[in-house]
Amino acid sequence: MKQLVECVPNFSEGRDLVKIKQITDAIEAVDGITLLDSDPGKDTNRTVVTFVGSVASVEEAAFQGIAKAAEVIDMGSHSGAHARLGATDVCPFIPVSGVTVKDCVDLSHRVAKRVGDELKIPVYLYEDSAQKDDRKSLPVVRAGEYEGLAKKLKDPNWKPDYGPAKFNAKSGATVMGSREFLIAYNINLNTKDQRLASDIAFELREKGRSKRIPNPDSPNLLDGEIVRDEQGKAVKIPGLFKDVKGVGWYIDEFKRAQISINFNNYKISTIHDVFDKACELAVERGIRVTGSELVGLISKEALLMAGRHYLKKQRRTTAVPEADIIECAVQSLGLNDLYPFRSAEKIVEFAVGQTSGQLMGLTSEGFVDELSSNSPAPGGGSVAALAGSLGAALVSMV
């Protein structure tokens, strides 16, 4: 099995395309690296980069990307809608094939040590790489953001895992570690009201919200009075979906508010269930979901799960080619709402070349699936050639 690690660093630059290209060029210059995606956001002022390669290649490419970001990004003048801690805000390593979680944990330690030693950037380890339980969660580690980092570094409880406990004004700090495949996903609303997006996000996310008494004059629970306990602390109620993180924001580029969601485990809380519930909650508040957006890549399985879900709701068979199931998911989730959704670029298995679009590269199952579709090829000639080959093989066997 081919050894493959995915790395998805988030860089705090989403507007200057020259700087972004300098960073991705540094990553691509490493032998054995395939750059799968570079997704900049103007309002978040953040770019999510995705690349894959062997453990050794990813180790070098991650360092080179972080080093270039430290060179071209000045956090002292950075602003954006997304929470961030440094020039390279977070750098996760994800096992894809032929590698284990432990391999990626060890990889994160090596890169973190080099970043700390050579670039003098404080590094915190999170998720599977965390050396303390209270550092597993990215939002916890990132609390206070860049603006609160100088104070944070003076606290002995927040001594970085690698690098100096000294404020690096230009580069900030970096969070790094091994984690499972994460899906970054935004749900689009037909409103500019960020508070409505936040209200829905708080209902969906596992962390939940403060309990409130509904305001009869407003559909937004944020307008209700907070319920407090005997000590005066806000009573908290959990959200609807486990392993889901969410916030609401307004993106001027799209002239609309979005519910920004991270799926830490799409098998426990599925994209389609969260999307459907968001649609329901939006209608209750007098607004509508218009579609959704993927940031970075998604696994094929997540879209197949969604496609089968919507086909069943339509009382249609799921015994159709995978391409048709995926197309049903794309249409049902409104993934074309902001710009065209390109499966070859956004589905990780397609992007790394594990699925070939050429007839000669198809498996027997893939050939039959393609034959059953409405595509012009394969046709009679291809079927005749296959039948002839099978006949010749049978004669040879006898």
Confidence band, pLDDT 50/70/90 cuts, at residue 176: very high
Tokens of 383: 């079927």
Tokens of 54: 């062997």
Mean pLDDT across 278-283: 98
For the CA atoms of 62, 67, 73, 76, the dihedral, rounded to the nearest 10 degrees, stands at 110
Helix (H, G, I), strand (E, B) or coil at 333: helix
Rg for the chain (alpha carbons), in Å? 24
Query: Residues with Cβ < 8 Å from 239, sequence gap 6 or more?
Result: 202, 203, 204, 205, 206, 207, 208, 209, 246
CA distances from 306 to 154, 167, 203, 267, 327 (A): 46, 45, 21, 11, 10
The pLDDT > 90 percentage for the chain reads 80
**Between 134 and 289, residue with greater pLDDT:** 289
Query: pLDDT tens, 80-132?
Result: 989 999 999 999 999 988 899 999 999 999 999 999 999 999 999 999 999 99
pLDDT value of position 111: 98
The yes-or-no verdict on residue 359 having pLDDT over 60 is no
Of 86, 115, 104, the closest CA to residue 5 belongs to 104
Could you give the angle at the alpha carbon of 36 between the alpha carbons of 189 and 99, nearest 5°? Answer: 110
pLDDT value of position 3: 84
Helix (H, G, I), strand (E, B) or coil at 27: helix
**Cα(111)–Cα(100) distance, rounded to whole angstroms?**
17
Asked whether 127 and 179 are in contact (CB, 8 A), the reply is yes
CA torsion sign, 173 to 174 to 175 to 181? positive
**Cα(75)–Cα(88) distance, rounded to whole angstroms?**
10
Mean pLDDT across 56-74: 98
Q: Which domains does the chain have, with CATH numbers?
A: 4-178 (3.30.990.10), 183-351 (3.30.70.670), 359-397 (no CATH)
pLDDT value of position 286: 95
**One-letter amino acid for residue 375 of the chain:** S
Which positions are annotated as active-site residues?
Answer: 82
pLDDT value of position 2: 77
The yes-or-no verdict on residue 272 having pLDDT over 80 is yes
pLDDT value of position 296: 83
